[in-house]
Amino acid sequence: MGIVARIGLVLLGIFIALGYRAYEQLSVTPRLPNNIEFFEYWGPEGGDPYGGSLEIVPFNVSYPLEVIERLRKQLHDAPSLTAPLEEAAFQYGFNSERLKEIVQYWRTDYLDRWDERQAYLNRFTHFKTKIQGLDIHFIRDRLESVRNPKRIVPLLLLHGWPGSVREFYDIIPMLSNRTSDKEYVFDVIVPSLPGYGWSEGSSKPGLSTSKVAVIMKNLMARLGYRSFYIQGGDWGAIIGNLMAILFEKDILGVHLNMCMGSGSPLTMGKMVLSSLAPSYFIEKQHIDFYHPTWPKIVELILEGGYLHLQATKPDTIGTALQNNPIGLAAYILEKFSTWTNPANRNLQDGGLEQHYSLDALLDNVMIYYLTDSITTSQRLYAESFSADELGKAYENIPTNVPAACAKFRHELFQYPDWILKEHFTNLMQSNHYNDGGHFAAMQLPEVLYKDIVQFVNRLYVR
């Protein structure tokens, strides 16, 4: 045997040994912490995690005229944008000609009606309370006329990035009002995640999704609820999943519109197996939600550049976007285009107004702009993809909390039910929808509402 062949065999042996060792480590089911730290402090230096006020105070969205006029001037004085390539739509990112149109609308029509938009943002009751050293903002909507506690169902709605509480404005009244399809009303609690919108960002490193899950549990306890339902997408789905894992006995049910399987080798192996013979594992009419796998991976790569930036250098990209309203709008609104439907890349207008009003989209951008929260919001990526957080691998722990998955056609990635059931061992509902994308609560609120009610009706005990 030649020297090259011998070296090759040695290297192969080393790779096999290392691969087996990695498999052993990844195959070990992670354990929950013996004692979850409920009082971990995230506020400014010198604060007391036990000394914070338990007070819940009303909050009003209110900005003086000079703030709005400063924004108008920024939009007016912005440097000229580079012209798009000939015949290019959104394939290279946000089309600058379309961006000019949106900026013009923002600077004139939208800001001319800012009092109206601000009143709309205040249509629900807003509050703030101090949790673990941070001011946490939330919306709460419930019918005070309902006195029977058995008829009141607490529901925590969790948004993601680059969304905000604004995503839920159409669905909130559907949930909180009396309707013929449910024997109860929801007490709807919609927090801004820490570092998003009007919720304060952490002053120290480490505020990852598992830590946010604890903050959200503490918020619900502050409001008098030990047990409650959760609904979420994007980060909200990940945090909701973690709450179902960490607080399994207290979560009544978890409804997600971005259900994720575990990251275990078994799950990855099942995904490969499923791609080889999908008809053996997935109902024929739903195969194209999951396969062919490679084009979906390519799509994730096309859309995933932001994730690498924000998971590694959130403050750098944050500096480029903060106090830069046009850049901020392009960065955020591009996601509402391509994450709603990747085919929107081929449309000159990005397809935005096929699904959303410009007022709704700009309301969401305004929340990031007015609160200077783009940098703090992006830090959640860096903290959640840190070696410390990934090493915990909580998402690999199965949960028996009743679960429901609403699967919309153009969601970024989907897991088949037979794989999800490895993690969600009590998966009670899984519905496929031939329309819709990543921002389901904002795009198709009626569809998402009916899916939530269908799930809760299965569990509701009068």
Catalytic residues: 234, 381, 438
Instruction: In whole angstroms, give the CA distance from residue 113 to residue 102.
Output: 15
Residue with tokens 């305004």: 366
Strand partners, 432: 407
Rg (CA), the chain: 23
Q: State both tokens at 205.
A: 């490193």
Report the Cα–Cα distance between both ends of the chain, in Å, rounded: 77
Instruction: Write phi, then psi, for 99 (nearest 5 degrees).
Output: -60, -40
Q: Return the DSSP state at 347.
A: S
Residue 151 contacts by C-beta under 8 Å, 6 or more apart in sequence? 183, 184, 185, 462
Nearest Cα to Cα of residue 138 among 116, 120, 156, 150: 156
User: Which helix (H) or strand (E) segment is 139 a member of?
Assistant: strand 134-141
Rounded Cα distance, 151 and 147, in Å: 8
Which whole-number Å values give the CA distances from 310 to 277, 300, 304, 307, 339, in the listed order? 36, 15, 10, 5, 17
Per the CB < 8 A criterion, the answer to whether 392 and 242 are in contact is: no
Which structure tokens are listed for 304?
């995933």
CA–CA gap between residue 365 and residue 197 (Å, rounded): 10
CA–CA distance, 223 with 311 (Å, rounded to integer): 32
Tokens of 256: 């997600």
